[in-house]
A and B are shown apart, each in its own frame.
Chain A
Amino acid sequence: MGYGKLLKIDPLVVEWNYTTEYRHSYAEDSPFFMELGRGRLLGSRCKSCGFKYGTYRKYCMYCGSETEDMDLPLQGKVHSFTTCYYSGETFRGDVPYTLVLVEFPGIDSLFMSRLFMNHGEKPKIGMDVVAQFKKFQTFTVNDVYFVPA
């Protein structure tokens, strides 16, 4: 917030910049993001009921027990997909991009990620995909992405 730039009168409308530094802590999810830099895609296994999560979480949402980290298979199948031609402002420079929900063999839930393909390739449900890791970590979930297997 700050001093406004006059946009119009009657009614009086001013525009100001609205930005801030924000310290986003991954807290208990930190191991997932750290290990992406080592080429590992972590999921979680419930120590009590055995449910295997395709997206990392420290506690089981079914029984509340603590989970343990597990390596996910790096190859899976497209469960669903969409190609985005618009987005949030932050990702405006990225469009078009494709998002997929990935299902892994033997894992009970999914993982959302970006899918990169060669020009002319089209995503489809059931397509085999394999995880790739960014060379330089951004410390976001985008440090892993998928390509056709």
Chain B
Amino acid sequence: MIAGGMTHFKKINFNDDFRLNVKHSLDYALKDSGMKIGDIEGSVSAYFSDHLQGQLIAGAMSNDFIGLAGKPSKRIEGGGATGGLAFQTAYEEIASGTMDTCLAYGFENMSHVGTWRGNDIIALGSDASFDYPLGGFYTAYYALMATRHMYEFGTTEKQMAMVSVKNHGNAMYNPYAQAPMDITVDDVLKSPVVSSPIKMLDICLMSDGAACAILASEEVAKSYSGKPVLIKSIGSSSDTMRLADRPFGTVPLLPNENPEMYRNLKYPGVHSFRAGRLAAKMAYRKAGISNPQKEIDFAELYDAYTSAEIQAYEDMGFCQYGQGGKFIEDGRSMLDGDIPVNMEGGLQASGHAIGATGIMQAVYAFWQLQGTVHKHLGSNRLQVKNPHMGIIHSHAGTGAYEAVTVMEAV
């Protein structure tokens, strides 16, 4: 990766349509890398919902707007993992030798419908025969998982609230963030219950915004950027769309785990994201990571809900299954913890413009690994100290798709 950019995510941005948002993020990346649009050989576009855009084939419209008409391009869609999967597709374009430079860009304009209607549209990303007619509400599906996680492992609403406090607090130092907030655990616990046990301040934002990442082959990367970041490996997996279909089997173990740890755990059930674990396992194997707790310096995790961030600590192997609540309670994912998570605010506070989100994570990780957070965010407050390796992680459809990418400073 040689450059990235993003717009300031906003609840409503009627001034810039999706094309202009993409252009703003791209102009920033081009300026940062010294590249020109003519240097880009092709693109991968990422957006989740044609309903939200009110426009089909919106990728093609973006391409001609930014000057890439006439060059190869494809659209990737995978729910909340759309951006993360598109980033991986751009990597594949380079790794396969198809292109020497490739732009991954993502966008979503979610403000064009009201929040209740937005919930409806997003819930069409669940089984339209068996799940959607029960309430049309994704928060409910994650809440069912959170309830079971609490039952299996003793995770508490207070621990979930700590994630919200951390991410909103981190965002106070991120000028790109939509909802920086100085809040307390009590504020989160007293916010309106949306779908028990999940409350208003446990939930990510709906955003208008865009993000982009420019990837290049190793040789070309050196000619443009003094400080490229290596995409070390990619991993992805999938699971059943319906929560009700999730199996009750055994945990896919990471190298630093053993079967004794999970002797009585029926996995994944609805308490854990099997696709996340499998995606991480694939990415770690290809990157040669044998102990993520020791080798990964930070992570951008998919915190659509605070419960999902806690579940992801476990899926990613940052702690044993069942210890996710304790992981935040012990401060291990805080800025000064041993594996800081969502240093810039995550989906909770930085924003969730769905197609842009996974690429937004990549840009943040890129700046962290470059050590250029000060340059891009205006202060060093969120810079992880001397990071060598980080991961980005996103998922869709209560884990129906998941993507994990390992990035390394070089």
Contacts and interface: CB of A to CB of B under 8 A. Distances in A.
Interface of A: 8, 11, 13, 18, 24, 26, 29, 33, 53-57, 61, 79-92, 94, 97, 99, 101, 108-114, 125, 140-142
Interface stretch (B139-147, B170-178, B311-319, B343-351): B139-147
B133 A141 contact: yes
A87 B133 contact: no
Interface residues of B, number: 45
Contacts of B11: none
Interface stretch (B187-195, B355-363, B367-375): B187-195
A116 to B, nearest CB: 13
Given A88-B119, A88-B135, A108-B248, 15 more contacts: A13-B14, A24-B129, A54-B244, A55-B245, A61-B245, A79-B270, A82-B143, A88-B137, A89-B114, A99-B144, A110-B245, A112-B131, A125-B151, A140-B133, A142-B134
Main SS of the interface on chain A? mixed
A112 B123 CA distance: 15
A109 B247 contact: yes
B244 A112 contact: yes
Contact of A94 (B119, B135, B145): B135
Contacts of B133: 140-142
Interface in B119-175: 119-120, 123, 128-137, 139-140, 143-148, 151
B147 A141 contact: no
B240 interface: yes
A143 B246 CA distance: 23
Nearest to B120: A88
Given A18-B54, A86-B119, A87-B116, A81 B136 contact: no
B148 A86 contact: no
A143 to B, nearest CB: 10
A90 B147 contact: no
Nearest to A138: B133
Contacts of A91: 135-137
29 contacts: A24-B129, A53-B245, A55-B130, A55-B242, A55-B244, A82-B196, A84-B137, A84-B139, A84-B195, A85-B192, A85-B195, A87-B119, A87-B137, A88-B116, A88-B137, A89-B116, A90-B120, A91-B135, A91-B137, A99-B135, A99-B144, A101-B148, A101-B243, A108-B247, A110-B244, A110-B270, A112-B134, A141-B130, A141-B134
B129 A29 contact: yes
Given A54-B244, A55-B242, A111-B244, A99 B134 contact: yes
Interface string B6-30: 0000000011000000000000000
Given A89-B114, A101-B244, A112-B243, A81 B144 contact: yes
Contacts of B247: 108-109
Contact of B244 (A8, A18, A109): A109
A85 B193 contact: yes
Contact of A61 (B136, B137, B147, B240): B240
A109 B140 contact: no
B243 A84 contact: no
A82 B144 contact: yes
B117 interface: yes
A83 B134 contact: no
B134 A114 contact: yes
Could you say which of B116, B130, B131, B192 has the most chain A C-beta atoms within 10 Å of its C-beta?
B130
A90 to B, nearest CB: 5
A94 B194 CA distance: 14
Contacts of A26: 129
